Every structure is written in structure tokens, then in C-alpha cells.
């Protein structure tokens, strides 16, 4: 069930588009559903907290697993919907919450819009926002099959995972994969200060410079992969994990999301760091949350 009102910041407006602006010819053509073999190992999870929920650092050991090389794309999700007729939560009638404005009783989802002096909100409930129309009915994913799918609630990501025979990563798996065996933190910029991930350059939330070539989502594979060969573990879109979190203002259980998005800025929260985590209501997708999958290499059942 969607605890939409718990967000507080949501109000109703028409959709507002945040299109990529860069030519995407330099982006890698990545195979659909490509998986990367992640070796068993141990790592230090968490940090001395920049935010209280990120610490303390602790040792975590993991078995070998496979993880998606890139975020699940619109094209991949479209194949699932075509095969199954699946309807995402954003396409279904929302729960009839007491006191909800009439618009919030219509199918829709949460969309970011830069605040203005007249309207300081930055999250909006947009009727008709869903994975095919991430910012609202006037927006379309036509021609954007290589972008990460968004407006996906946790249940939607689970449904896709079940269909394809895989699982959502735990937070431990996700963070281990994001750190990629290194001791130094992966950085969103190179030594010369040039962005090497799709995050937010400028002054969040009012001045998006788009120095990385994108003011919104980028197709997967536009930035160099990490040392494990994984793309967009910094930014582009946040990614669901199967790990539960707690959020006092949530109207329903929350799950941990990881990696930050095109909306994560150094001046605001820098939540593209591997240890960073946010707690997202399970039933609420946004235009900056997607997912990737893991294969836990389960042994075949005995014959």
C-alpha cells in the first residue's frame, strides 16, 4: 500500500520533463540483462557517519554472486510487461487514504521539479506519471529504451525479478559491488574534476548545471564502469535493495535504496557514496529510482 501522504512534500501539478541533453553516441552499447561475476570476499561496510544511519563501519563477508552490469532499462522492463501484461503500482488505483485530495486517488507517482520562489516544493504527485511516462502524461520513454526504468515501486521490481528468475540485491551485496574491492571511495569526478558519473553539478535543488552532459537520467553505459565492471553505481538512478529500513514518517514499510541519482549533489547530501542509504516507502516509485538484480547462484535441487 502506498503511504503517499506521509511524504508531506507531495502536491499535484502537471508533469515537468527533465530530458538528457548530451549526445549519447559515446555511451556503451550494453547487452540486455548482462551480469557480472562478483567474487566472494569481505569488506568494511558503512562509514564513520556523514549521516547517522551510515555507521558504524563493520566487517561484512559475502559469498560469490552475480549482479546486473547496469540498471534495468526501459527496453528490458518493456519486454517483461509485453510478456506478462504486468501493471505497475503507479498504473493502479491508489489506496483510498482518508483526507486525500481527489487527484491523489487517481493513478500517478512522484516527480521531481526544481523549486521556485513561488513554490518551494520539489516533489509532486503527478497523475498519470508511470514508467512509460516518467514525468507525467506529456512525457514518453519513446526512443529512450536504454535509460533506466523508473516509477517502479518495490513490488514492481520484485515482480520483474521473479519473472526473470533473479532477485533484488541485499544492501550488503550492493555496497560491496559499488566499492569494487577498493579501499578509497569511488569518486564522481576524475582527478581533473571532470564528472565521471551522472550526478548533480550545481547548487541543488535550484541550479542544475548539467556539466556531466545530463540534467536528468542518462542511458546506461554513458560513464565508465567501476573496477568490477558495473555501470552507474554512482548516480543516474537510486536502486532498490531487499534490505528493510525504517522511516518514522512513512505510512508503510520502507526499503533501503542505494547509489544516489542524477539529483544527488555535493552541496546537498552527496548520497552517491557507497555507504549512503535512504529509506524509501515500498509502494512509492519516483522518477529517480530504479533497480538492478542479483543471481545468488542457488544450487540445483537434488534429483
Closest by CA position to 186, among listed 235, 139, 256: 235
**Phi and psi at residue 123, to the nearest 5°:** -115, 130
User: Does 68 contact Ca ion by CB under 5 A?
Assistant: no
Least separation in angstroms between CB 286 and Ca ion: 13
Residue with smaller CB distance to Ca ion, 18 or 128: 18
Residue with smaller CB distance to Ca ion, 66 or 100: 66
Residue with smaller CB distance to Ca ion, 147 or 232: 232
Burial of residue 300 (number of CB atoms within 10 Å: 0-12, 13-18, 19+): exposed
Q: Provide the 10 A C-beta neighbour count for residue 213.
A: 17
User: Which residue has 576524475 as its cell numbers?
Assistant: 190
C-alpha of 26 from chain center: 22
Residue with smaller CB distance to Ca ion, 3 or 258: 258
Least separation in angstroms between CB 261 and Ca ion: 7
Least separation in angstroms between CB 174 and Ca ion: 10
Least separation in angstroms between CB 289 and Ca ion: 9
Q: Are 107 and 131 in contact (CB under 8 A)?
A: no
Number of shown-chain residues binding Ca ion (CB under 5 A): 3
Least separation in angstroms between CB 301 and Ca ion: 34
Determine the Cα–Cα distance for residues 56 and 237; give it in Å rounded to an integer: 25
Site for Ca ion in 204-263 (CB under 5 A): 232, 236, 259
Residue with smaller CB distance to Ca ion, 94 or 188: 188
Residue with smaller CB distance to Ca ion, 89 or 289: 289
CB under 8 Å to 256, separation ≥6 — which residues? 171, 241, 243, 244, 245, 277, 278, 279, 280
Least separation in angstroms between CB 237 and Ca ion: 5
Going by their DSSP bridges, the two strands 294-295 and 65-68 should be labelled as antiparallel
**Residues in touch with Ca ion (CB under 5 A):** 232, 236, 259
Amino acid at each position: 500500500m502506498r503511504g503517499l501522504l506521509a511524504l508531506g512534500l507531495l502536491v499535484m501539478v502537471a508533469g515537468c520533463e527533465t530530458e538528457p541533453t548530451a549526445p549519447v553516441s559515446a555511451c556503451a552499447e550494453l547487452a540486455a540483462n548482462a551480469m557480472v561475476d562478483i567474487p566472494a570476499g569481505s569488506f568494511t561496510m558503512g562509514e564513520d557517519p556523514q549521516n547517522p544511519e551510515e555507521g558504524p563501519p563493520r566487517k561484512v563477508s559475502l559469498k560469490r554472486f552475480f549482479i546486473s552490469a547496469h540498471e534495468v532499462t526501459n527496453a528490458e522492463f518493456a519486454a517483461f510487461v509485453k510478456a506478462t501484461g504486468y501493471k505497475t503500482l503507479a498504473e493502479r488505483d491508489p489506496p483510498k487514504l482518508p483526507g486525500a485530495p481527489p487527484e491523489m486517488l487517481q493513478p500517478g507517482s512522484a516527480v521531481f521539479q526544481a523549486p521556485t520562489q513561488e513554490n518551494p516544493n520539489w516533489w509532486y504527485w503527478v497523475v498519470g506519471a508511470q514508467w512509460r511516462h516518467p514525468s507525467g502524461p506529456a512525457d514518453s520513454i519513446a526512443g529512450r529504451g536504454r535509460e533506466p526504468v523508473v516509477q517502479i515501486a518495490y513490488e514492481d521490481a520484485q515482480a520483474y525479478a521473479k519473472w526473470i528468475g533473479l532477485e533484488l540485491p541485499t544492501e550488503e551485496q550492493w555496497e560491496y559491488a559499488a566499492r569494487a574491492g577498493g579501499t578509497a571511495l569511488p569518486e564522481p569526478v576524475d582527478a581533473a574534476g571532470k564528472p565521471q558519473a551522472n550526478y548533480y553539478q550545481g547548487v541543488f535543488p535550484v541550479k542544475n548545471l548539467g556539466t556531466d552532459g545530463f540534467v536528468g537520467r542518462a542511458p546506461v553505459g554513458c560513464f565508465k564502469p567501476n573496477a568490477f565492471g558495473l555501470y552507474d553505481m554512482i548516480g543516474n538512478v537510486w536502486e532498490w535493495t531487499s534490505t528493510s529500513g525504517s522511516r518514522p514518517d512513512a505510512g508503510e514499510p520502507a526499503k533501503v535504496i542505494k547509489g544516489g541519482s542524477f539529483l544527488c549533489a555535493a552541496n546537498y547530501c552527496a548520497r552517491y557514496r557507497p555507504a549512503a542509504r535512504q529509506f524509501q516507502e515500498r509502494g512509492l516509485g519516483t522518477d529517480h529510482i530504479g533497480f538492478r538484480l542479483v543471481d545468488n547462484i542457488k544450487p540445483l535441487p537434488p534429483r
